Structure 1
Amino acid sequence: MTGFVTWMIGEDPWECLQLLVSGAFGSGEGIGYTLFYTTGFIFTGLAVATAFHAGLFNIGGEGQAYLAGLGVTLVVLAFDHTLPPIVLVPLCILAAMGFGAAWAFIPGWLQAKRGSHIVVTTIMFNFIAYSLMLYLIGHHLIEAGSQNPTTREFGQASWIPAIHQVAAGMGISLPSTPLNLTFVMALLACGLFYLLVWHSRWGFQLRTVGVNESAARYAGINVSKTIILAMCVSGALSGFAAINELLGSTHRMNVSFTNGVGFVGIAVALMGRNHPVGIILSALLFGGLTQGGLELSFEKPVITREMIIFIQGLIILFCGALENLFEPFIAGLFKRKEDK
């Protein structure tokens, strides 16, 4: 389908596919950028998956990342010239997790205590977060004398080391990219997510609430507490997307720093079946599409960013929405082989 659309606008589908893949994985620089985008998608994918296991559809990752970015910015602007990196960076991480969790707590509480639908409240909170950030940056946090809605550059004490800098310290030469140690945190978060959800008491309670809330309540599980805590954990995970972008790449706050990472996380979680391994793979796919799409649109200006979003939508459609269309046929093939 994507190839047909590409052909309809006068471009060679095979050439475009080659440019897309080579732009994402054909060079060290391309791989670095792909993994950088993948990092943010992993965190927001895990955030959506956490809530989903509790039967909640948290689509507020974008707003939670916004508020996490506010927490990071306030800490950095206050202490980046006084605290050493070993203190400042962990403090920023705690601020990101705290602000993200606090922003997710409100929809979680409304769902648990008042029955407000989580989808409606998280959508509303995305817009509230954006408007709040626009006001704060435009009126209070903007760099003095700047016409752009952005803060001053963060002090280097708050910067998370880039992977190529770490590699250089070990005598390994890598291309300069924004890929930073937050990527390692993302992989560790996947491991912790697996242990928490499938090998802990709280994870069992979380999944029980998600499968059957009435049965969970009958079994003595505090459903309201589980829902609220699930949303707080989800918001805290979304906060790491702000860490990746602000402390690992741009080193300043602007109103568009999230770049839709929270919304892509929804697709990542759904395609990854809310499992950490699947989330890593689907995040890598969307990271490759993001980086490869940028290279493709540079080489082929007729293929715009909207076309790349269209391609992502088709992937979600055929890999996710049409799952039940092909599953019976494939399952039937395996069943016939077993019968023989």
Structure 2
Amino acid sequence: MSVTQTPGPLAEPETKIAPSRWQVTLQAIVHGNGIISLLAVLIAVVVGSIMIAATDEDVQAAAGYFFAQPADTFVAIWESVSGAYAALFRGAIYNYNADSFAAGIRPLTETLKFATPLIAAGLGVGLAFRAGLFNIGGQGQMLMAAAAAGYVATTMNLPIVLHLIVAVIAGMVAAAVWGGIAGYLKARTGAHEVITTIMLNHIAFYLLAWMLATQGLLQAPGSSNPKTAPMPETAQLPLILGPGYKLHAGFLLALIAVAFTWWLLERSALGFRFRAVGENPAAARVAGIDVGRMYFVVMLIAGALVGIAGISQVLGTEVNGFSGGIDAGIGFDAITVALLGRSSPLGILGAGLLFGAFKTGGFTMQSSQGIPVEIILVVQSLIVLFIAAPPLVRAMFGLPQPGRPSRRSKRAAAKRRSQKAEGTEVSA
């Protein structure tokens, strides 16, 4: 006698739940091939070179008699473009015209200083990307970190090491709370994080403006200007290479944050849950992962990472006091850095260094070559454009599109069909 078992609730057929369209788009951008990022930079640099040549007066003059002496135009273009990127190298990496090696490496230290907040903020944005969230609130998280760290630094009198530690922790906690608000709203109400983080940016901006205009909070004592007092030496991030350079220990904090984020994503169970939720939140929920809790936790950690950027600005770069513009657009530049780095901690490190070099070297290009610094901004914008359009980059370089056979495979398949047809005819 056979016994037929009736499947219970746990034996229900599995349903494949597809992610939403915006999640698919995010995954395509974040998890794309790294070669696309390199090609995007290459294309942007080429377009920037065309703009540099087009705005150069010597090139314009030589183009006026191009058909009489075309070589003059090409020489002028080469001198314009090569001179611009040579100035970029001197201003960002090493000044080979300096009198000494110590003076020659100063541009590199400036690049590392400018890259520090970009790396830290990029990690916060990239970590949220890996969990399927758009963290557009880098500005607000930076401002709250700056406010908390600045308040502790200017109002508390603590021993030298303890003062710095308390200020750093206060800044990270404030930024984590600010990011956690968006995560909590996402988890509890389903409010889209793009809207909530943008609104939190505005709240943070005006809240900081109020604090800077209020005596006893952040405004410098005896002053009516919306600016803080200088940071005391006990709360300043120490200079790594001494007083001759401006590179401070915030860069070391950024490197520690890179190592921590890599370990979190690649070696921890919590990071595995983040990635599972980012790939498909519905499937992760079916697997027993508390998706709402992951949204809240990842935004807490992301906010703390972005907070390091605000801390490095307040306690390292702007130690003479800061105003409401302390974020300097870094919160939004971090989105570009995270996209270029494919939300990988090591990729974000490289992207942050690249954008730090662009920012530092752009000043030298402008001062020595007369090239508008806006061209660097155009190059950065083009990088974002091409990264967000991988099919365009693949088409420009003839790379195979995902899910489609390559030209080589098409030729091989055609050859096999031809050989099969010939064999059939011979046998017939």
CA 1:197/1:142 → structure 2, altered by over 3 Å: closer, same or farther? same
**Is contact 2:365-2:371 (8 Å) kept?**
no
What is the CA–CA distance in structure 2 between the aligned matches of 1:41 and 1:322, rounded to whole Å?
23
What is the CA–CA distance in structure 2 between the aligned matches of 1:258 and 1:336, rounded to whole Å?
51
What is the CA–CA distance in structure 2 between the aligned matches of 1:267 and 1:91, rounded to whole Å?
31
* Bigger fraction of residues in helix: 1
1:287 counterpart letter in structure 2: G
Residue 164 of structure 1 aligns to a residue whose secondary structure is coil
Aligned to 2:390: 323
2:55 counterpart letter in structure 1: I
Choose the corresponding residue for 1:6, options 27, 38, 52: 52
Alignment partner of 1:59 is 2:136? yes
Residue 136 of structure 1 aligns to a residue whose secondary structure is helix
Unaligned runs of 5+ in 1: 166-174
User: Residue deviations 1:144-181, cap 9 Å, x none?
Assistant: 3445421111110001111112xxxxxxxxx8232111
Choose the corresponding residue for 1:226, options 288, 291, 294: 294
User: Residue deviations 1:100-141, cap 9 Å, x none?
Assistant: 011111111111111111111111111211111112102332
What is the CA–CA distance in structure 2 between the aligned matches of 1:3 and 1:230, rounded to whole Å?
40
1:303 counterpart letter in structure 2: P
Choose the corresponding residue for 1:213, options 281, 305, 308: 281
Alignment partner of 1:50 is 2:127? yes
What is the CA–CA distance in structure 1 between the aligned matches of 2:410 and 2:121, rounded to whole Å?
40
TM-score, normalised relative to structure 2: 0.72
Choose the corresponding residue for 1:164, options 237, 241, 249: 241
Alignment partner of 1:130 is 2:198? no
Aligned to 2:70: none
User: Residue deviations 1:236-264, cap 9 Å, x none?
Assistant: 00110112111112112321111111111
CA 1:302/1:273 → structure 2, altered by over 3 Å: closer, same or farther? closer
Choose the corresponding residue for 2:214, options 123, 131, 139: 139
User: Residue deviations 1:266-290, cap 9 Å, x none?
Assistant: 1111111111111111111100001
What is the CA–CA distance in structure 1 between the aligned matches of 2:197 and 2:116, rounded to whole Å?
23
Give the Å deviation of 1:307.
3.0
CA 1:335/1:76 → structure 2, altered by over 3 Å: closer, same or farther? farther
**Is contact 1:58-1:118 (8 Å) kept?**
yes
Give the Å deviation of 1:315.
2.5
What is the CA–CA distance in structure 2 between the aligned matches of 1:176 and 1:295, rounded to whole Å?
19
Residue 139 of structure 1 aligns to a residue whose secondary structure is coil
**Is contact 2:120-2:309 (8 Å) kept?**
yes
Give the Å deviation of 1:215.
1.0
Aligned to 1:264: 333
Tell me which structure has the larger Cα radius of gyration: 2
Q: Map 1:1-340; keep pairs closer than 5 Å.
A: 1-10=47-56, 12-26=80-94, 27-79=104-156, 82-140=157-215, 141-146=218-223, 148-165=225-242, 176-251=244-319, 252-301=321-370, 303-304=372-373, 306-318=374-386, 320-327=387-394, 329-331=398-400, 332=406
CA 1:326/1:312 → structure 2, altered by over 3 Å: closer, same or farther? closer
TM-score, normalised relative to structure 1: 0.90
User: Residue deviations 1:62-115, cap 9 Å, x none?
Assistant: 110000001101111221xx3112211111111011100111111111111111
What is the CA–CA distance in structure 2 between the aligned matches of 1:196 and 1:212, rounded to whole Å?
19
What is the CA–CA distance in structure 2 between the aligned matches of 1:84 and 1:205, rounded to whole Å?
40
Give the Å deviation of 1:337.
12
Superposition CA RMSD, Å = 2.2
**Is contact 1:75-1:95 (8 Å) kept?**
yes
CA 1:334/1:208 → structure 2, altered by over 3 Å: closer, same or farther? farther
CA 1:145/1:187 → structure 2, altered by over 3 Å: closer, same or farther? same
Give the Å deviation of 1:336.
8.9
What is the CA–CA distance in structure 1 between the aligned matches of 2:262 and 2:345, rounded to whole Å?
7
Give the Å deviation of 1:212.
0.9
Higher deviation after alignment, 295-304 or 56-65: 295-304
Aligned residue-pair number:
327
**Is contact 1:2-1:314 (8 Å) kept?**
no
Give the Å deviation of 1:316.
2.5
2:122 counterpart letter in structure 1: G
- The sequence identity of aligned pairs, in percent, is 34
Query: Which contiguous aligned blocks of 4+ residues in structure 1 show a shift greater than 4 angstroms?
Result: 333-339
Select the structure with the greater relative contact order (CA < 8 A; seq sep ≥ 6).
1
CA 1:266/1:335 → structure 2, altered by over 3 Å: closer, same or farther? farther
What is the CA–CA distance in structure 2 between the aligned matches of 1:117 and 1:203, rounded to whole Å?
22
Aligned to 2:66: none
Residue 247 of structure 2 aligns to a residue whose secondary structure is coil
What is the CA–CA distance in structure 2 between the aligned matches of 1:14 and 1:299, rounded to whole Å?
13
**Is contact 2:182-2:197 (8 Å) kept?**
yes
What is the CA–CA distance in structure 2 between the aligned matches of 1:103 and 1:314, rounded to whole Å?
31
**Is contact 1:63-1:130 (8 Å) kept?**
yes
1:14 counterpart letter in structure 2: S
Residue 325 of structure 2 aligns to a residue whose secondary structure is coil
What is the CA–CA distance in structure 1 between the aligned matches of 2:411 and 2:258, rounded to whole Å?
36
